Amino acid sequence: MNWKEEYKKLIIIVAIFLAVFYLPIGNSRFIVALYESLRLLKWYAREHVLLCLVPAFFIAGVISVFISQNAVIKYLGASAKKWVAYAVASVSGTILAVCSCTVLPLFSGIYKRGAGLGPAIAFLYSGPAINILAIILTARILGTELGIARVVGAVLFSIVIGYTMHLIYRKEEQAKAEAQSEIPESEESRPIWQTAVHFFLLVLILIFMNWGRPDTDNGVWHFIYAKKWLITGFFGIGLIFSLIIIVKIKSLQVFLVAVPVLVLAFLFPARPVIAFVAAIFGLSILLSINKGEPSEWMNSSWNFAKQILPLLAIGVLIAGFLLGGPDNGQGIIPNRWIASLVGGNSLFSNFFASIAGAFMYFATLTEVPIVQGLIASGMGKGPALSLLLAGPALSLPNMLVIRSVIGSQKTIIYVILVIIMATISGLIYGVIF
């Protein structure tokens, strides 16, 4: 018998027993925190899973099945040219309007496909940190200088953090590079442009479907927001032809699935999500009944969902319990404590803002109004930047999933690097401005 393992189990059992035995069910703040955790989970399921995560799972499946391992290794692998790998990874967020959770299937896909640890981490950070909509919203609401500082800091962050992770695990990465050099060149099953078209159709659907409401009711950004479902439908039609021409699914099967979706879109124009759900079910059925690449695509997407969704649900519940639900809800940690600890521009206020941001959950673009409210409550400019640099790229649910992909040690180091870099950046920015 392995007594070390048995003692661990005993400690876990005793800890759970004590937690249940002393459960403060009569404490009002505890009850409110429980309610907020469930409210955040409900909001997350309604606002985020269908429109963000589900498309991201299908995109990750495309990366795993349609994009060859040699292509990933060539541009992002452990032996790829560093300037190419980090340049590609660090600016990826400008075209992906994703949050810290939506980027996870994509990160997992490229890492498992052969991307080096450094470029994969750079992609993981840059994806949610520098999407173009968030940068524009930051500049317009919080000030141009803060918007510029955010984009510059985020790009540099992704490169510095990614390359630091590479240096820390350089022996492991060197062994990975040597193993990748022995992988024989494989022939592409289709021209690369076809794979690119199919991939970006899915990405564009993800982007426009989640286009956030701008702070004004006129201009090009509001026009796109008002027409976002029409634009999404246009790219959806493109996906129909992509499934036939590129994925090689029979046209009759595709049209049998597409027609009900189009009918629902016309019958319920005020509730486009109904047509979207029908499209997801239809696509899943299409991929499942066709052998070869379609079924492999479906299996890969389903595997990502099985791995990621339970961990995200647990993380969202814990985050809601600690810090409250959406719309400034109160968790077990009072919001006024956080507001009081991020005033001024001290080392502690920047450090605390970085930690708070790292564990809070921000959906895409929601970090801007949250920071705006904290600034109105006395938050300093330095801590505001610290939170903007740490918050969108990290969250408690995000950490749980990253751990399942790269392990506990690498995850802890990544989180520490993000917090340290955010703290230093906020401190410098607060001194200058």
pLDDT, tens digit, 9 for 90 and up, residues 48-76: 788 888 888 898 888 888 877 677 777 77
Taking the C-alpha atoms of residue 334 and residue 273, their distance in angstroms, rounded to an integer, is 35
The model's pTM is: 0.78
Q: Exposed/middle/buried for 134, CB within 10 Å: 0-12, 13-18, 19+?
A: buried
3-state secondary structure string across the chain:
CCHHHHHHHHHHHHHHHHHHHCCCCCCHHHHHHHHHHHHHHHHHHHHHHHHHHHHHHHHHHHHHHCCCHHHHHHHHECCCCHHHHHHHHHCHHHCCCCCCCCHHHHHHHHHHCCECHHHHHHHHHHHHHCCHHHHHHHHHHHCHHHHHHHHHHHHHHHHHHHHHHHHHCHHHHHHHHHHHHCCCCCCCCCCHHHHHHHHHHHHHHHHHHCCCCCCCCCCHHHHHHHCHHHHHHHHHHHHHHHHHHCCCCCHHHHHHHHHHHHHHHHHCCCCHHHHHHHHHHHHHHHHHHCCCHHHHHHHHHHHHHHHHHHHHHHHHHHHHHHHCCCCCCCCCCCHHHHHHHCECCCHHHHHHHHHHHHHCCCCCCCHHHHHHHHHHCCECHHHHHHHHHHCCCCCHHHHHHHHHHHCHHHHHHHHHHHHHHHHHHHHHHHHHC
Question: b/e string for 384-414 if b means 16 or more Cβ within 10 A?
Answer: bbbbbbbbbbbbbbbbbbbbebbeeebbebb
Give the highest mean pLDDT range of 55-64, 120-129, 402-411.
402-411
Contact between 427 and 342 under an 8 Å Cβ cutoff? The reply is no
The predicted model gives 272-293 an average pLDDT of 92
Name the one residue in this structure whose structure tokens are 């409110």: 32
Residues 6+ apart with CB under 8 A from 307: 108, 401, 404
Taking the C-alpha atoms of residue 75 and residue 192, their distance in angstroms, rounded to an integer, is 14
Nearest to 209 by CA among 133, 274, 276: 276
Taking the C-alpha atoms of residue 246 and residue 83, their distance in angstroms, rounded to an integer, is 32
The whole-number pLDDT of residue 239 equals 94
Percent pLDDT > 70 in the chain is 90
Residues 6+ apart with CB under 8 A from 268: 274, 275
Mean pLDDT score of the chain, rounded to an integer?
A: 83
Taking the C-alpha atoms of residue 55 and residue 301, their distance in angstroms, rounded to an integer, is 9
Confidence of residue 185 (pLDDT cuts 50, 70, 90): low
Confidence of residue 328 (pLDDT cuts 50, 70, 90): low
Contact between 128 and 392 under an 8 Å Cβ cutoff? The reply is yes
Other Cβ atoms within 10 Å of 338 Cβ, number? 20
Does the pLDDT of residue 415 top 80, yes or no?
Answer: yes
Taking the C-alpha atoms of residue 379 and residue 367, their distance in angstroms, rounded to an integer, is 14
Taking the C-alpha atoms of residue 131 and residue 151, their distance in angstroms, rounded to an integer, is 9
* 379 phi/psi in degrees, rounded to 5: -65, 135
Does the pLDDT of residue 423 top 90, yes or no?
Answer: yes
Q: What are the tens digits of pLDDT across the range 195-218? A: 889 988 998 898 888 887 776 778
Q: What are the tens digits of pLDDT across the range 338-387? A: 777 777 788 899 998 899 888 887 766 667 767 776 776 678 888 988 88
The whole-number pLDDT of residue 433 equals 76
The whole-number pLDDT of residue 1 equals 60
The whole-number pLDDT of residue 327 equals 67
| Region of residue 168 (left: phi > 0; alpha: psi -120 to 50; beta: else) | alpha
| Region of residue 270 (left: phi > 0; alpha: psi -120 to 50; beta: else) | alpha
The whole-number pLDDT of residue 279 equals 93
Confidence of residue 86 (pLDDT cuts 50, 70, 90): confident
Lowest mean pLDDT among 23-27, 227-231, 286-290, 373-377: 373-377
Q: What are the tens digits of pLDDT across the range 8-52? A: 888 888 888 888 888 888 788 888 888 888 888 888 788 778 888
Residues 6+ apart with CB under 8 A from 32: 330
Lowest mean pLDDT among 154-163, 219-228, 332-341: 332-341
Q: What angle do CA 86, 129, 223 make, to 5 degrees?
A: 115
Lowest mean pLDDT among 94-103, 282-291, 376-385: 94-103
Taking the C-alpha atoms of residue 218 and residue 398, their distance in angstroms, rounded to an integer, is 35
Residue type, 40: L
The predicted model gives 324-332 an average pLDDT of 72
The predicted model gives 115-134 an average pLDDT of 80
The whole-number pLDDT of residue 334 equals 77
* 77 phi/psi in degrees, rounded to 5: -70, 170
**Choice between 191 and 339, residue whose per-residue pLDDT is larger:** 191
Taking the C-alpha atoms of residue 150 and residue 25, their distance in angstroms, rounded to an integer, is 42
Rounded CA Rg of the chain: 22
